[in-house]
Amino acid sequence: MMDFATPVERRGTDCAKWDTFDKIYGGTDLIHVGCADMDFKSPPEICQAFADIAAHGVFGYTDLSPDFYSGVAAWYQRRHGIMLTPDEVMFTPRINIACGLCIEALTRPGDEVILNSPAYPPLAQAAADNGRFVRAVPLKAQDDSFTLDMDALEAAVSPKTKFMILVNPHNPTTRCWSLAELQCIADFCVRHELYLFCDEIHADFIKAGCSFHSMLEIADPALQERLIVANSPAKTFNVMGALAAYLIIRNPKLRQAFYREMQRIGEHNPGIFANAVLKTVYQQCEYYVAEVNAYIDGNESYIRQEFMRLFPKLKILRREGTYLLWMDFRQVFATEDAMFDFFLNQARVEVYAGSHFGADFAGFMRFNLAESRVILQEIVRRIETAQAR
């Protein structure tokens, strides 16, 4: 049984989430729940694999283990009922890199890339930085959640649009798109001849009672020939620092196009620690997924209850997947700046404000639930103290 309850000190490790954001905002008294990085230890099997490599003491060029391909194939078969062949799975160090490379391979400067907002910014950035125009189409608010706005997507698409990015489960709204919604996106991409980059990095974080469907389940061959699915064990097992991700591509022509881009940037071998991750986690660590999800679901219940007590006008959106909570503070604070100021300067809790994910979402907040409950209790205590001042 993993121990997620004992806090892990990450300061002093060049940690992006703690050390870097300490520097950005000033002070080592902050609690950081903005960045989507879990503060949990990885499974002991992966720690052992790293320790074995360190003990060996030679860190030369490494090639992908055949266990990587069979591991991804077995994972998709067991967890999603999807059959893959090894050649359909391609290594890439990071999804953000892969997204930029796919855009570079499959579109031209001046073309348009369409996606939904709110949006995890680096994927849109990958398009913009490659000289493509980004069409961000807001999701539609519906009850305590968000839904696709197919009419708005239809209105935004143009003959210059060549590529769509879909994130599923969606960061930051946490939506796990239903099969019907995936079918709508698939039809849209086929009708407008768009390549579809579907980022499933959060697929292993599914709230109890919710379900995840991969875009690979949509059988339409016309969709499959234009589909790139991106995934990674990095979030699931908290090994973002190992740079181990992969793409699943059915169409050999797209695989070749991606391979050429990897060659162009000089990417050939995985890092030795990436290889260790890829050959270990899917074979040995599935138990971790159930345990981490149960802990995160418990954290969600705790934060829901406490935040609704502390902010009676707060709207907490329905959570389906990811370890994030998407909250609407617009009835609580007059402006997003006031919200951010309260959390950062008065409670000393660093969060991500909604406008980070799209101007239409100012006043929302993304909160990382993948923390020790002890840290969450301290956040609640700090908010109470700040409110009492």
Residues near ligand PLP (CB under 6 A) = 36, 94-96, 120, 167, 171, 199, 201, 232, 234, 240, 245
Strand ranges, E, within the chain: 31-32, 89-92, 112-117, 133-138, 140-142, 145-147, 161-167, 195-199, 227-231, 245-249, 315-316, 324-328, 349-350, 352-353, 364-368
Phi, psi of 289 (to 5 degrees): -60, -45
In the bound complex, what is the minimum distance in angstroms from residue 357's beta carbon to ligand PLP?
11
Pick 368 or 372: Cβ nearer ligand PLP: 368
Q: Specify the residue, 104 or 199, whose C-beta has the smaller distance to ligand PLP.
A: 199
Write down the least CB distance from residue 311 to ligand PLP, Å: 25
Instruction: Output 96 or 173, the one with its CB closest to ligand PLP.
Output: 96
Instruction: State which residue, 216 or 380, has the beta carbon closest to ligand PLP.
Output: 216
Contact (CB, 8 A) for 165 and 151: no
Least distance (Å) between residue 97 CB and ligand PLP: 6
Cβ 332 to ligand PLP shortest distance, Å: 25
For ligand PLP, the closer CB: 120 or 311: 120
Structure tokens, 315: 């709207």
Question: Where does residue 49 fall: left (phi above 0), alpha (psi -120 to 50 degrees), or beta otherwise?
Answer: alpha
CB of 381 to ligand PLP, least distance (A): 28
User: Any idea what DSSP says for residue 384?
Assistant: H
**Could you give the CA distance from residue 389 to residue 377 in angstroms, rounded to a whole number?**
19
**CB neighbour burial string for 243-267, b if at least 16 within 10 angstroms, e if fewer:** bbbbbbbbbeebbebbbebbeeeee
Nearer to ligand PLP, 171 or 372 (CB): 171
Least Å distance, CB 340 to ligand PLP, is 20
Residue 65, CA distances (Å) to 61, 72, 182, 248, 279 in order = 12, 12, 33, 17, 6
Of 169 and 342, which CB lies nearer to ligand PLP in the complex structure? Answer: 169
- State both tokens at 302: 């705790």
Residue found by looking up tokens 């604070």 in the block:
333
> Do residues 230 and 201 touch, judged by C-beta distance below 8 A?
yes
Minimum Å distance from CB 336 to ligand PLP? 21
